[in-house]
Chains A and B, each alone.
Chain A
Amino acid sequence: MSHGNMNLTLKIWRQNSAKEQGQLVTYPVTGISPDMSFLEMFDILNEQLVSKNESPIVFDHDCREGICGMCSMVINGRAHGPKTGITTCQLHMRSFKDGDTIVVEPWRAQAFPVIKDLAVDRSSFERIQAKGGFISVNTGTAQDANCLPIPKNDADASFNAAACIGCGACVATCKNASAMLFVAAKVSQFALLPQGKIEATARVKNMVAQMDLEGFGSCTNTGACEVECPQGITLENIARMNREYLVANCKD
């Protein structure tokens, strides 16, 4: 344990269900180590709440190593907190100062209804993905894959797009609650590879249609998503999807 433990004031969004009104509730926490992760601080707070017979704060988390994309929290007005390029589980308390007040809210979007407290329902992403975020051709074995020559730049760009962990920070950050960065990553990942080209037209059309249907906003190119994305997905992917969409609509 390092020295310099911190006392903090947390203001956390509590909401019983999507149908009920929520509110910010103030919780003082003491003796927080700067080496703790943000979620470990929540574990400590929850233990205290349970020991006082209060209901613990519900928040999503799974891997706690920055790869599952579950730990959705807007911290002091920024998705995943003050640092860029990381998820909430990778945020450490040393990013805050003793005496700080920290406001924690859920992702806020029509298409991400609150389940309870900080946990939101992101199944809208799953439904978009189910509309075309896959290929239905047989790709054969590893050897067959190696027989298909793919330019290094395309392979790299596809790989970078595939790094999207579906966390929803792009939606949470966007002033329009737009899912363009997420959908663009999923479209790009396949659009760049020969195996993905076969269904490219229907894929982009169907995924965009589902995105609109779910009630996400549209893109005004503010670029906020790109800044807050923990996986470094870039706006070039959105441009690629816009191109793909135009071409797909010209074809049929």
Chain B
Amino acid sequence: MSNTSPNFITSSLGKKYLMGFTGLFLIVFLVVHVCINACIYFNDSGVTYNMVAGFMANNIIMRILEVGLFLGIVLHVVQALILTLQNNKARPQKYAVQNSAASSTWYSRSMGLLGTLLLMFLVVHLANFWVPTKVAVFNGEEHNTFESLKPVFSNPLILTVYLLGLVSLLYHLLHGFQSAFQTFGLNHKKYTPFIKAFGFWYSVIIVLLFASMPVTMFLGLIK
């Protein structure tokens, strides 16, 4: 048998490996992100929070990781787009009747949609916090990150957008976490139930923690 196959990375399986890898990288990032944000719960007018945020903003390693994070998101989104378009093309004529619920969950079938909602949320999120911070740094101004949270989260519309974004994240992760391990070929009678349970609790806990922040800010519990 001679080998006539194309590149790893242009194959469907190669693209899936990249999706899974960038997805898991984003999952790790979310842990770091939620830990930093949790500093608002010191409830000390943002002293601790600003200290940690300042450390992250002025640290060369963090700057490099930030570039990596952007690259990770872009790769994830581009591969998602290519794969989703290819997958749609694989069935040009749809079924008149399809009982999809009999064999899979709705969110496992809606990763493209959930991802798109996430992307829209990310744009809003970056416009709210990341852009003003960068503008201030660029202009050499003093920027109190903690104080900049308050006006944003006192807006009920923005609060709603954040909560909807987090619901999308919840369902994206409920499928995505365990899906990445299956993509890497890690499916084992003994360990897969643990991976699935861990993924479930990871998704629920991280989303609840993130959600608690805009809610407590909105209610004025964080001073």
**Are A239's CB and B185's CB within 8 A?**
yes
**Are A235's CB and B187's CB within 8 A?**
yes
Hey, what's the 0/1 contact readout for A41-83 against B, CB within 8 Å counting as 1?
A: 0000000000000000000000000000000001011100000
Instruction: Select from chain B the residue with minimum beta-carbon distance to A136.
Output: B1
User: Is B139 among interface residues, defined by CB-CB distance under 8 A?
Assistant: no
Partner of B86, one of A108, A111, A218: A218
Instruction: Select from chain A the residue with minimum beta-carbon distance to B92.
Output: A110
**8 A Cβ contacts from B85-113 to A:** 86-87, 89-100, 102-105, 108-109, 111
Instruction: Select from chain A the residue with minimum beta-carbon distance to B189.
Output: A236
B97 to chain A, nearest CB (A): 4
A188 to chain B, nearest CB (A): 12
Q: How far is the CA of A13 from the CA of B90 in the complex (A)?
A: 20
Most buried by B among A74, A175, A223, A235: A175
Partner of B103, one of A178, A212, A223: A223
User: Is A240 among interface residues, defined by CB-CB distance under 8 A?
Assistant: yes
Hey, what's the 0/1 contact readout for B164-187 against A, CB within 8 Å counting as 1?
A: 000000000001001100111111
**Are B100's CB and A224's CB within 8 A?**
yes
User: Is B17 among interface residues, defined by CB-CB distance under 8 A?
Assistant: yes
Hey, what's the 0/1 contact readout for B3-17 against A, CB within 8 Å counting as 1?
A: 111101001111111
**Are B185's CB and A246's CB within 8 A?**
yes
User: Is A232 among interface residues, defined by CB-CB distance under 8 A?
Assistant: no
Chain A residues, Cβ within 8 Å of B99: 76-78
**Are B87's CB and A77's CB within 8 A?**
no
Q: How far is the CA of A107 from the CA of B12 in the complex (A)?
A: 22
Instruction: Select from chain A the residue with minimum beta-carbon distance to B2.
Output: A202
**Are A220's CB and B179's CB within 8 A?**
yes
**8 A Cβ contacts from B2-55 to A:** 2-6, 8, 11-17
Chain B residues, Cβ within 8 Å of A228: 103
**8 A Cβ contacts from A198-252 to B:** 199, 201-203, 205-206, 208-209, 211-212, 215-224, 227-228, 235-236, 238-246, 249, 252
**8 A Cβ contacts from A77-125 to B:** 77-78, 103, 105, 108-111
Chain A residues, Cβ within 8 Å of B185: 239-244, 246
Chain A residues, Cβ within 8 Å of B90: 109-111, 176-178, 215-217
**Are A206's CB and B179's CB within 8 A?**
no
Partner of B1, one of A132, A209, A211, A212: A132
User: Is B213 among interface residues, defined by CB-CB distance under 8 A?
Assistant: no
User: Is A150 among interface residues, defined by CB-CB distance under 8 A?
Assistant: no
Name A's interface SS: mixed
**Are B1's CB and A208's CB within 8 A?**
no
Chain A residues, Cβ within 8 Å of B6: 209
**Are A205's CB and B103's CB within 8 A?**
no
Q: How far is the CA of A216 from the CA of B6 in the complex (A)?
A: 16
Given A222-B105, A227-B104, A239-B185, A24:B12 Cβ within 8 A: no
Instruction: Select from chain B the residue with minimum beta-carbon distance to A211.
Output: B12
User: Is A158 among interface residues, defined by CB-CB distance under 8 A?
Assistant: no
Q: How far is the CA of A241 from the CA of B105 in the complex (A)?
A: 24
Q: How far is the CA of A241 from the CA of B183 in the complex (A)?
A: 10
Given A103-B97, A217-B91, A222-B104, A242:B109 Cβ within 8 A: no
Instruction: Select from chain A the residue with minimum beta-carbon distance to B93.
Output: A108
Chain B residues, Cβ within 8 Å of A108: 91, 93-95
User: Is B117 among interface residues, defined by CB-CB distance under 8 A?
Assistant: no
**Are A221's CB and B182's CB within 8 A?**
yes
B95 to chain A, nearest CB (A): 6
**Are A103's CB and B96's CB within 8 A?**
yes
Instruction: Select from chain A the residue with minimum beta-carbon distance to B82.
Output: A218
User: Is A129 among interface residues, defined by CB-CB distance under 8 A?
Assistant: no
User: Is A173 among interface residues, defined by CB-CB distance under 8 A?
Assistant: yes
Chain B residues, Cβ within 8 Å of A242: 13, 16-17, 182-185
Given A236-B187, A239-B182, A221:B4 Cβ within 8 A: no
**Are A202's CB and B91's CB within 8 A?**
no
Given contact pairs A108-B95, A109-B90, A216-B90, enumerate 4 new A-B contacts (beta carbons under 8 Å): A211-B12, A220-B87, A221-B182, A222-B104
Would you list 15 pairs from A and B whose C-beta atoms are within 8 A, ordered by A residue? A11-B96, A24-B96, A111-B90, A177-B90, A206-B4, A209-B6, A209-B11, A212-B12, A217-B91, A219-B16, A220-B111, A221-B108, A222-B105, A222-B175, A246-B17
